[in-house]
Chains A and B, each alone.
Chain A
Amino acid sequence: MRIEKYANPARFLSLQKSVQPWLTGSAVVLIVVGLYLGLVVAPPDYQQGETVRIMFIHVPAAWTAMMTYTFMAACSIVAIVMRHPLADMAAKAAAPFGAVFAFLALATGSLWGKPMWGTWWVWDARLTSTFVLFLLYLGYIAVWQAIEEPSRAAAIARIVAIVGFINVPIIKFSVDWWHSLHQGESVFRMGGPTIYPTILWPLLVMGLGYTVMFAALEFSALRTEVLARRIRQMEIAEAQGS
């Protein structure tokens, strides 16, 4: 399958129609299974007690927040290099979901931090850089809203997304570069995960569930975006015709 084939919005719409139920269905199944494993099957942590269960919401949210921004930056590069007509729309559609994931990561982290660290918030590297990610999402969304002409808004939004991408590696490595209250990398690290399997498995299932959920939301939002643009073109054609 060549991705260029789906540059054509009509082809994308037919693909979306056939794929959407599967994406949505598997997202629901994965998240339900992940929540069951995390909230019912997994034992409480010997130090953190029941609060460890917040991690099954928090960690995948942070992962997908970073993944979504990476996706937006990649779409923006594709839009510049290949003039792919759907790439800008895909980046635009992804931004609100990324903002929600980033907010969810911040909010659940704060809820977990109060009983565990004794504070809702500290200004350390991991928390600050994630907060900056949230602000970058807001800025990106604001660019699309501030500029009326779509092609110009797309050109500016690409630059904003690509420049802001510098923050993603900073988030990823912030716990290695600085002494942080946030714990270090414990899943994707050299030498294997350092988490006990009863906690690791629900985490991975939830991570996959969040990713598929993002894909399902993204496909549906991109469809809306394509249809909205089509309506706009029809309105312009009608205004010119009369």
Chain B
Amino acid sequence: MSVLAALIRRDLLLALRQGTGAGTALGFFLTVMVLLPLGIGPDQALLQRIAPGALWIALLLSVLLSSDRIFQADYEDGSLELMTMGPAALEIVVTMKGLAHWLTTGLPLAIAAPLLGFLLNLDPALIGPLVVAMGLGSVALSLLASLGAAVTVGIRRGGLLVALLILPLYVPVVIFGVAASSGIGGLDIATPSLLILAAIALVALVTVPFAAAAALRAYMH
């Protein structure tokens, strides 16, 4: 247990002290939310209609853009290699790093989403479902991002490749995430869409670590 805590603590501290943590992600999230109404036009009714979807797209881009920090630096300076020799299996390391990424990106953004939603005239009744759906859905987003990061860790300028590989896998998360946070199926929080979203997050939690660890081993052998 202390190993798991140490792994998460290390990533959180690094994110905090290198300034790559929640602050930067929030800043990016905010910027997208400011640019969007400027691009679409200030029609309040239209903005209200697209607000949940727009927040989801911004969340997804923030997660994707910050994915390279999950493994890149640790791979380059050799810490990842050391972690493979440590007491925890590489699959566990991968899971913890994915969760640390969620703690520094997905979770803060989900909490901040209602505030930014005001910029888009978000319906206040949707705040509850939106925060819950984003909090849950971003677990899947962070885990899939860690898979993308693992698959491209040894490739120079792998950013676009991560997007090409991982965005298709984000499609179901976005579909059910937006459905769960748009009040489709009533304002009840536990809608079928939210349950499917939770199922996707759980499946990602048990399958992604194995795939990502296999990819990291292919780069390190």
Contacts and interface: CB of A to CB of B under 8 A. Distances in A.
Nearest to A167: B168
A146 B158 contact: yes
B143 to A, nearest CB: 12
Contacts of B161: 139, 142-143, 146
Main SS of the interface on chain B? Answer: helix
A132 B171 contact: yes
A139 B164 contact: yes
B214 interface: yes
Contacts of B92: none
A147 interface: yes
Given A128-B171, A155-B218, A139 B155 contact: no
A146 B151 CA distance: 11
B131 interface: no
Interface string B133-167: 00000000000000100011011001001001101
Nearest to A128: B171
Interface residues of B, number: 19
Given A147-B154, A156-B218, A160-B151, A138 B164 contact: yes
Interface in B2-39: none
Interface of B: 147, 151-152, 154-155, 158, 161, 164-165, 167-169, 171-172, 211, 214-215, 218-219
Nearest to A134: B168
A167 B172 CA distance: 10
Considering the complex of A and B, which 3 residue pairs feature the smallest CB-CB distances, nearest first? A155-B218, A139-B165, A135-B168
A113 B140 CA distance: 34
Given A142-B161, A152-B218, A163-B147, A136 B168 contact: yes
A164 interface: yes
A9 B214 CA distance: 27
Given A155-B218, A156-B215, A143 B151 contact: yes
Given A146-B158, A146-B161, A152-B219, A159 B168 contact: no
